[in-house]
Amino acid sequence: MTLSDINIKDPRVQKVIGGVVILFIMVGIWHMQIYGPNKEAISKKRESIEQLNLKLQTAKMNAGKLAEIQKEMEEAFVKYKLLEKLMPAERDVPDFLNKLNIASRENNVKVINIDLEPSEVREFYIADPYRIEFKGNYHDLGAFLEDIANLPFIATAKNVNLKKTDKATGTISASLTIISYHMPMKDRLMAPTQLASARGGTHEATKPRATEDDAVGAISGGLSPAPH
């Protein structure tokens, strides 16, 4: 069938033509009165949706990293707690002197003088230095320092001076500064899970393993406790 075969006087053909014309008129009216004036708004909405989709994808990626970050925080807190356990809440001079006295007597080392130097506030703990002078032979001094290193708290040493005093007996005099540490209760950190609970979180902590060496590594020095 060709266009010449179409009888435009046929009522059915006229209805079809009329319907098509009406459709074009409606589309034209919609474009002029609705789409045209709102084209800019529609474009902005589309851009807004695209930005929201981008933010959603970014949020999903960050959510994947959150568990990893929480795990790292918990592992760091375990190391911190190990360190915290090796620090009393206050400077305990009698306890330190008692342990020093026991170590010196057991190793035949004579303590000549002890000076309690002022405590020094550090970033998250307080250092308590003691300047000590003592005498003994090389073997006894080595055993004495080993006992000090294995005390149930962190101790570091600095400013070590050795001087031989008796060639016949091998006795030497020595002086050094031994530093112990304490951490006041008010400065101790709250566990990440406790922080989450305080903020309404429900995350349950895992219990990663760590060694005492991880904790002791937070403080550098000459003496440190041997692993138990």
d(CA 84, CA 123): 14
Q: What is the CATH number of the domain that holds 148?
A: 3.30.70.60
Within a domain: 179:
yes
- Write down the pLDDT at residue 219: 42
Within a domain: 130:
yes
pTM: 0.53
Per residue in 150-178, pLDDT tens?
A: 888 888 888 888 887 777 777 888 899 99
Q: Can you give the residue range of the structural domain that contains 184?
A: 93-188
- Write down the pLDDT at residue 37: 58
Within a domain: 134:
yes
What is the full DSSP assignment across 113-170?
EEEEPPPEE-SSSEEEEEEEEEEE-HHHHHHHHHHHHTSSS-EEEEEEEEEEEETTTT
Within a domain: 58:
no
Per residue in 11-67, pLDDT tens?
A: 676 666 666 667 766 766 655 665 555 566 666 777 777 788 788 777 777 776 777
With a cut of 90, say whether residue 119 has pLDDT above it: yes
pLDDT band of residue 216 (cuts 50, 70, 90) is very low
Within a domain: 74:
no
d(CA 81, CA 124): 13
Domain count, the chain: 1
Within a domain: 3:
no
Q: How many CB atoms lie within 10 A of CB 127?
A: 19
Q: How many CB atoms lie within 10 A of CB 174?
A: 20
Within a domain: 4:
no
The percentage of the chain sitting over the pLDDT mark of 70, rounded to a whole number, equals 65
Within a domain: 216:
no
Q: How many residues does the chain have?
A: 228
